Amino acid sequence: MEVPILKQGGILIATVQAALTDADLLQLRRALIERVVQMRSRGVILDVTALDVMDSFASRTIREIANMIRLRGTETVIVGIQPEVAFAMVQLGLTLDGVATALDLEEGLYYLNRKFKRAAS
């Protein structure tokens, strides 16, 4: 299932709607990078509220996405990780090091906007 990517000002918002297969993840990675380049976005929010499982491949891909996007000078925030998912991830040692996280979409937007403001001043 394809993940819709919405544009909101300079920010791209990708909201995961259902469980993702490995192929879906790779497709998401490709689509996001393309869009970031195309739209010259300044920030990306990946909303994983709907995910109730996060395996090692998913978390590695998410980290890769964030790192690739950073190379374009764009910041990525992962939002909406469920408490149970967070706990399970930590126990598996999947801690998304170096990737920004926020509670939900609103927080993610707030985080990015503050960052832009700081960069502007």
Binding site for other proteins (CB under 8 A): 78-79, 81, 83-87, 89-91, 95-96, 101-104, 107-108, 111
Rounded to 10°, the helix 56-71/22-39 angle is: 10
| Nearest distance from C-beta of residue 95 to other proteins, angstroms | 5
**40-56: buried (b, 16+ CB within 10 Å) or exposed (e) per residue?**
ebbbbbbbbeebeebbe
| Nearest distance from C-beta of residue 40 to other proteins, angstroms | 26
Tokens for 69, please give them: 């996007």
Amino acid at 91: Q
Residue with smaller CB distance to other proteins, 39 or 100? 100
| Nearest distance from C-beta of residue 70 to other proteins, angstroms | 18
Other beta carbons within 10 angstroms of residue 14's beta carbon come to 19
